[in-house]
Structure 1
Amino acid sequence: MTVVPPAPLDPDQVALSLAPFGHSRMLPRDAYLSDAVLAWEQEHLFGGWVCVGRSSEISTSGMTAQSLGDYGVLLTRDKSGVLRGFENACRHRGHELLPCGGTSEDLRAIVCPYHAWSYRLDGSLIGAPGHKDAVDFDKSAFSLKPVGVQEWHGWVFVDRKNQGLPFAEHIGELEGIVADYDAETLVTPVVHEYDVASNWKVIIENYQECYHCSSIHPELCAVSPPTSGENLEMEGNWVGGWMDLREHADTMSFDGRSGGVAMARLDEVERRTVMYVAVMPNLLISLHPDYIMTHLLTPISPDVTRVRCSWAFPAEVAGAEGFDPAYAVDFWDLTNRQDFSACESVQRGMKAPNYQAGPLAPDEDGVYQFVTRIAQAYQGS
């Protein structure tokens, strides 16, 4: 069993976050401001299963590289469609095999740009220039170092330390919630990227409550009652809940009308609700009747988070002549910016010298679920 050290935080302040709901406090100030805490989170919270994007971003006979903390992972897909993950480091001198954020298609081999060591898409070494006649050079000893990888309903997860829970336990009962949306068949015509001057946890805390909706989201409140729905407590490494649509609304858009069609396998309840889920530690999934929006969070520093927001629709809808995803995209781009402005203000406010973690309101039970998970992790094991 791996022993995790406690986070570099005052344990008494962390314990306040674990008091019963109604008596607890938010996480300590340094949890949002400290470089040392973020380094601990990158090593431990982001050391297990982490979402890195959509399956469609990795083509057959292609590869992509993604940054995870201080180093990257390389994802490849061979001609048979098998996805694999490796440390993005050549076995010769450690040079990155592909710049993080880059993609390549129609590959015959992975070639290191430094000294041209080459690898198959399964990670095995093909050749090392100058070593053909080298004595005792065993190519099988220099395959790329594997990392755990899992595709789930069109999302790709990586376990870079190979120390996470079995993936089925990580997802738990979320599987039964997401399955009917057939997310793996959807296409993603629009992606927005935001650099938010806020800690990653502030963004998730905002996502887990609508206590703020009446104050800053008049457009959202027009199509969804801010006090509707409830949060769930189910098995898995995630938190989430649902909200109703108003009687006149078919989806989340400025007028409540959909520019697409509802997912084919949804029941009547799913067609009248929007589900909001935070899969720990960095994937936010918003399940609408007619589209799925996801936010992929990448911490850059304690007070900067890169958010990659995408909108996915049924292929027959997205491919139809004249389809315009703006009905969903424009609504949520505005809502995102309202949220991110609030999160940035929270981040600035927490820098006040006398700021102390505050209590949670009765409508913030979703925030409590998230905060207690983080606080428990901070205590180590």
Structure 2
Amino acid sequence: PYHQWTYELDGRLLFARQMADGFDKSQFSLNPVACESVGGYIFICLAKEPADFAPMRAMIEPYLLPHRLRDAKMAFESTIVEKGNWKLVWENNRECYHCAGNHPELCKTFPEAPTVTGVQGADSDPEMLAHWAKCEAAGLPSKFRIDPAGQYRATRAPLLRDAVSYTMTGRRAVKKNLSDSVSTERIGSLLLYHYPATWNHILGDHAVTFRVLPISATETAVTTKWLVHKDAVEGVDYDLAELTHVWTETNDQDRRIVEENAFGILSPAYEPGPYSELHEGGVIQFVEWYASFIGPRLAEAGRPALRSVA
């Protein structure tokens, strides 16, 4: 809109008014970006040589397809800016050690068990095993799976006290199921994570997606979207305040926690403490992934190696 240059959907420049003779439109196309779509989600990669997307597609697509997110619609979107770096935001997300004392709304329905929030022990937890068996019998892939490099993972987890949705009562927030293909009750939440940008909760009646975007060395934007069935009508099939209440409160509580941690880390007296191997296995796994991912790239760029990522 600035100078009315007009581009084709594939990025080619179609029109640029009143430019000099000899101006070659073909030299001013938009930069190409690797783009893949799977299960209703669109993933982009800004790398000049993007990684092969096929392994991720093969792993997560069976989990996503029954929920028909391609046919869902966005009921609400919010973006908050947390005054803490991207790593702190992810570390806070990757454990529920802090949940009982900070997330009263979420803890009404979401279990803080390490087998749900972490990466270890899920396949030996009787409750998880029973939930997987029930969901898989209904055609919903559910078992814990993780990328060999640790960058993405998926599993389905039960909610507390027979809850079916993230509401203060545990009852559904939306009358219509998210997908016409899923009618089984109490399927819990499909938990899908992909570093460095997104975590997701997909339930029977709606889905909540999160995007984590560093906007400076000390600020991170967290965008949350609530997805519902394409035919669900606000005020008839769902109350927007009820649908969004739990995660609106939880996001703000996490923002406060991250900002308090960031403030403390800036102290000259700050020293990192040990992780709880029981409750912070997910954080340990995230930090190990981050170190293994960024280390070689720092070396290639001639940058100093990481001294500590904790």
How well do the aligned residues superpose, as a CA RMSD in angstroms? 2.7
Counterpart in 1 of 2:159? 245
The 5 A counterparts of 1:48-67 are none
Is 2:40 the partner of 1:154? yes
TM-score normalised by L of structure 1: 0.62
Counterpart in 1 of 2:92? 206
Is 2:32 the partner of 1:120? no
1:342 deviation in Å? 1.1
CA distance in 1, matches of 2:25, 2:108: 63
Structure 1, unmatched stretches of 5+, are 1-97, 99-112
Pick from 30, 46, 51: which aligns with 1:144?
30
CA distance in 1, matches of 2:237, 2:68: 23
Structure 2, unmatched stretches of 5+, are 120-143, 298-310
1:185 deviation in Å? 1.1
Report the 3-state secondary structure (helix = DSSP H, G, I; strand = E; otherwise coil) of the residue aligned with 1:175: helix
1:257 deviation in Å? 0.9
CA distance in 2, matches of 1:266, 1:356: 49
Report the 3-state secondary structure (helix = DSSP H, G, I; strand = E; otherwise coil) of the residue aligned with 2:193: strand
Taking structure 1 as reference, are residues 127 and 337 closer, same or farther at Cα in structure 2, changes over 3 Å only?
closer
Counterpart in 2 of 1:163? 49
CA distance in 2, matches of 1:202, 1:125: 40
Could you tell me whether the CA contact under 8 Å between 1:198 and 1:347 is conserved in 2?
yes
Is 2:220 the partner of 1:305? yes
Could you tell me whether the CA contact under 8 Å between 2:96 and 2:114 is conserved in 1?
no
1:337 deviation in Å? 1.3
- Aligned positions, number: 266
TM-score normalised by L of structure 2: 0.75
Taking structure 1 as reference, are residues 346 and 129 closer, same or farther at Cα in structure 2, changes over 3 Å only?
same
Could you tell me whether the CA contact under 8 Å between 1:117 and 1:129 is conserved in 2?
yes
Taking structure 1 as reference, are residues 319 and 335 closer, same or farther at Cα in structure 2, changes over 3 Å only?
closer
The 5 A counterparts of 1:199-238 are 199-227=85-113, 229-230=115-116, 231=119, 232-235=144-147, 237-238=151-152
Q: Which stretch of the first structure deviates more once superposed, 220-229 or 245-254?
A: 220-229
1:151 deviation in Å? 2.6
1:234 deviation in Å? 1.8
CA distance in 2, matches of 1:131, 1:225: 61
Could you tell me whether the CA contact under 8 Å between 1:187 and 1:318 is conserved in 2?
no
Cα deviations across residues 289-330 of structure 1 (Å, max 9, x unaligned)? 211111112212222111111100111224683531322201
Taking structure 1 as reference, are residues 125 and 317 closer, same or farther at Cα in structure 2, changes over 3 Å only?
closer
AA aligned opposite 2:13: L
CA distance in 2, matches of 1:296, 1:312: 14
Counterpart in 1 of 2:252? 337
